[in-house]
Amino acid sequence: MRNPEQLAVVGVTGYTGFELARILLRHPAVKSPVFYVRDTQNKNCLAELFPQLRGVGEAPLRSLSLSEIIASNAGTAFLATPHEVSVGLAPALLEAGMRVVDLSGAFRFRSANTFATWYKLPTPHADWLSKAIYGLPELYAGEIASSRLIANPGCYATSVILALRPLAEAGLIAGGSSVVCDCKSGASGAGKDPRRDLHFVEVDENFKVYNLFSHRHTPEILEHTGLPEDRVIFSTHLLPLARGILSTIYVTLSAVHSGNEIEAIFRKFYAGRSMVRIWPAGSLPELQHVAHTNFCDIGFCLDSSGKRLIVVSCLDNLGKGAAGQAVQNFNLMLGIEERTGLQ
């Protein structure tokens, strides 16, 4: 019988994978994690690959082998792998009786066509899409707890959805109005693979926009806010810093509201959800407030008319936007306090 607390972690060499390893190695409920990578570089221990983990990272490092993972006693697998790799690994692990938390975009959509259109990849995993739960604990904690397949959300999507969902559910967004989601991320959000546009001299002292009208997190935002595509303007920018996402979101309200009313709506929606911190009306969070944490901080300003609202949502793209949120989902699957290992 598989032990859900015994882990197989696949893909630890990227920024997200390393952050995931760092959290799991200190997690009080995790037993005997084994880390799998394509190239071990003749290392047998994770701390040999990452010296900064010495003292906590003396965990086995293995060459990626699907058969070896299946033959192990691991009950849960984390996949910090590219989308096309997760597509192949996750179904086989699930069929072997394991739980899977996938950090790629492979299982984030119900529709195979949505995945194929936005990710430009085939969908041999289409039969599993309806079984996956979107891993945003503040919205779907009950479903996550009973699921065997978690699709961890995108980092930008997390920041935008958490800011907009309370307003959308309360019917506060004016019909027919556009919602502008102006988002900025640190360079680690682009991954670790070498690219010319991510070289230090290209990023340092620079600021640019990218993937306008084509960013892969767009359909996540639409699906989980309920807003139609023609009403959402989603722009993404690259900041000259390592980590963090700040989303500035412009909303026209359907009726006049006070700052206290808007704050009350956010606080009621996220009551009991300790990983989302709501700031007082008129106060705005900054990236330094959430760096190296699993918090999403949300603040807002309302203009004098009471109808023009600007929401600011901040999180660490490697924490609440990726690895930290994956562990939060894992905690819910284990039935333990969801902040375990994240404070």
Query: What tokens does 281 get?
Result: 């009306």
Q: Which residues have CB under 8 Å from 216's CB, separation 6+?
A: 105, 118, 119, 154
Whether 155 is catalytic is: yes
Query: What tokens does 22 get?
Result: 């760092």
- Of 33, 32, 29, 37, the C-alpha closest to 10 is 37
148 burial type by CB count under 10 A (0-12 exposed, 13-18 middle, 19+ buried): middle
Q: Is 60 helix (H, G, I), strand (E, B) or coil?
A: strand
Regarding beta strands 74-79 and 149-151, do their DSSP bridges make them parallel or antiparallel, or are they unpaired?
Answer: unpaired
The edge-to-edge listing of strands for the beta sheet with 149-151 is: 61-63, 31-37, 3-10, 74-79, 99-102, 149-151, 133-134
H or E segment to which residue 254 belongs: none
Among the listed residues 45, 155, 181, 296, the single catalytic one is 155
Query: What tokens does 320 get?
Result: 């609440």
Give dist(CA 33, CA 250) in Å, integer.
Answer: 43
CB crowding 79-94: b at 16 or more within 10 Å, else e: bbbbbebbbebbbebb
Query: What tokens does 17 get?
Result: 């994978």
Give dist(CA 321, CA 135) in Å, integer.
Answer: 11
Q: Which residues are catalytic?
A: 155
